Structure 1
């Protein structure tokens, strides 16, 4: 297969972006310090547009059928300046001020910093609303039913809950030290948060807005992937260089996959028979055949970082921690099929149909 070197596209109009979104799956790549999100066509790796105005974007999430993307900023801002952010075109000043109003003090902790979650129209890239949250955001998630969004706050030992039906801040849930990654259960009633600071995976009851239990998850869990039925979690104990397979119901560790070097992103194949892992410390991407435990490795230089599978296609997308690029990788051969030039650093990617 021919390796293509693809450079970023210029920003496109909302109408053209909508046309592309209707034709093919889109990979949304947050570009970190560049303050933007690159849109890439999932089948070809061809950049088709860029969303600007999302400062220090690290966490990015969406869900099929949900009209929004939720982008989290990894930088904190002056609370007094939160309401002075630029007003999007076509929005009245009164509506803009309301959208940037401070959340109710009863809902949001007052002893933490302030950062912004940006709610984007997934098809046009337009800013729909910016919501103040208590501290820098690492990762985000959107529930399968499209009702909720969650954002982790590593310095705040908890997560923010956002109601996507009203676009309002819905509360703060304490988890554990250094919450890192977050994902929802298939029925959207629960969520799971990895706590790097104490080696646990927290289960949250969203109806009660509480932490319901903790599962032991190695020494320093970071990224994880849930099976579609919500019964199994694959958790990267990143610095230990291992992935733990956890049974959600019992909390038992049912398998361990060792890679001997620091890990970062991971994801399951569309058929859930293969686990893909970015072995950052060894400049490799790995594929674990879950039925047999067999591991395939392929070099990926430098420093493979975030990783996401494009469901329904033969590709997975992997960013580099040390270079401004994202690789499109064939899931079978693990060979690079395209190198996509980006701005800044590629963080939590999301693929939507």
Structure 2
């Protein structure tokens, strides 16, 4: 199903800065890529040392980031929207001529309504940091998901009440799908046949069939559903209900809520342990990490302040990375007892983290 709307973009790559510090072609532990929002940077962190080994510049206001399964591409969505036909700010090191050509400032583009807002999704070659293509989508991007086969990237458009689908074979905008109000987060099923989208403004999680991109059944959750994570065996889908301080466990087949776990405050990040037996949630409001034993449903907490935000378990390391919404840093936690191993200073705020497995 091809789109009802395309936006102009250049076929020529744009060179941007990718600074590497001692990063070879192989590494013992995963790399973690962390976008820094308004700092217009993406950090590369070596999870063996919890240290920066590189950064990618030239990406504006990236909050949402995802990677292809083969580790070749990063897909970065911008939360900064602008009127259609108006190019984003020129990245440092790019000539005015190249910048204008890249963003298609043609007669066709300038004819778009100034009231129509777009933002830019950057398709980045991970190892070089080169932006291969920039694709405009109809609204600000919050989060990004990539299908397990690497064919599609989906971006949530929080103000447009929609998600856009980009083909990663030809870097074209395939379609834009209307969802319920304020789509926040998206995740694919492991077979790539379904896409799950949480809509914060409607209090639901929807299942979308990838074949035809049709919206199907919906699960009514708590208030303001946010981050999503799927059990490895796909027996359960978990979502933070940021507005009422709970996490819902959803049956992805029947799209019904089986259990709710009380966290006691506004939430944000969510992830599962590597063995799938423990669920971790960042309780931003109370400065705690919630820990749920999946089998028993028992909930416990560890203090972590201020304002724990995005959260990812790092496979093969026994670590969890948790960013702060109020201080420019992320914590490195022990996955077993949630004790703090270290704190890593960053510029700005760390958002949606991407893990590239060791090679």
Structure 1 and Structure 2 fold alike (TM over 0.5): yes
Moved over 2 A (4+): 11-17, 20-24, 77-90, 96-102, 108-112, 228-231
User: Cα offset for 1:219?
Assistant: 2.2
C-alpha distance in 2 between matches for 1:350 and 1:322: 21
C-alpha distance in 2 between matches for 1:14 and 1:326: 20
Structure 2 counterpart of 1:29: 34
User: Cα offset for 1:231?
Assistant: 3.2
Structure 1 counterpart of 2:65: 60
C-alpha distance in 2 between matches for 1:242 and 1:267: 14
Q: Does the CA-based 8 Å contact 2:18-2:128 persist in structure 1?
A: no
User: Cα offset for 1:100?
Assistant: 5.0
SS at match of 1:203: strand
Structure 2 counterpart of 1:69: 74
1:188 aligns with 2:195: no
1:266 to 261, 265, 270: 270
1:215 to 211, 219, 231: 219
User: Cα offset for 1:142?
Assistant: 0.9
- Note the alpha carbon deviations across 1:247-300, whole angstroms, 9 max, x for none: 111122211110111111100111111101101111011221111222231111
Structure 2 counterpart of 1:250: 254
User: Cα offset for 1:242?
Assistant: 0.4
C-alpha distance in 2 between matches for 1:304 and 1:279: 6
After superposition, residues 192-207 of structure 1 pair within 5 angstroms as: 192-207=196-211
C-alpha distance in 2 between matches for 1:334 and 1:15: 30
After superposition, residues 158-177 of structure 1 pair within 5 angstroms as: 158-177=162-181
Equivalent pairs counted in the alignment come to 337
Sort the Cα spacing of 1:159 and 1:61 in 2 relative to 1 into closer, same or farther, 3 A. same
Q: Does the CA-based 8 Å contact 1:244-1:253 persist in structure 2?
A: yes
C-alpha distance in 1 between matches for 2:227 and 2:168: 24
Q: Does the CA-based 8 Å contact 1:100-1:132 persist in structure 2?
A: no
- Note the alpha carbon deviations across 1:121-170, whole angstroms, 9 max, x for none: 12222211111010110000111111100000111001010000111111
C-alpha distance in 2 between matches for 1:194 and 1:288: 21
Q: Does the CA-based 8 Å contact 2:83-2:116 persist in structure 1?
A: no
Segments of 5+ residues of structure 2 without an aligned counterpart are 1-16
C-alpha distance in 1 between matches for 2:88 and 2:38: 22
Larger CA deviation: 215-224 vs 156-165: 215-224
SS at match of 1:97: helix
Q: Does the CA-based 8 Å contact 2:83-2:115 persist in structure 1?
A: no
1:322 aligns with 2:326: yes
With normalisation by structure 2, the TM-score equals 0.87
C-alpha distance in 1 between matches for 2:356 and 2:50: 14
C-alpha distance in 2 between matches for 1:59 and 1:114: 15
C-alpha distance in 1 between matches for 2:288 and 2:26: 31
Alignment root-mean-square deviation, CA? 2.6
SS at match of 1:141: strand
C-alpha distance in 2 between matches for 1:83 and 1:74: 12
C-alpha distance in 2 between matches for 1:309 and 1:100: 40
C-alpha distance in 2 between matches for 1:82 and 1:207: 33
C-alpha distance in 2 between matches for 1:111 and 1:70: 26
C-alpha distance in 1 between matches for 2:118 and 2:36: 21
C-alpha distance in 2 between matches for 1:303 and 1:84: 31
2:350 to 331, 334, 346: 346
Structure 2 counterpart of 1:8: none
Segments of 5+ residues of structure 1 without an aligned counterpart are 1-10
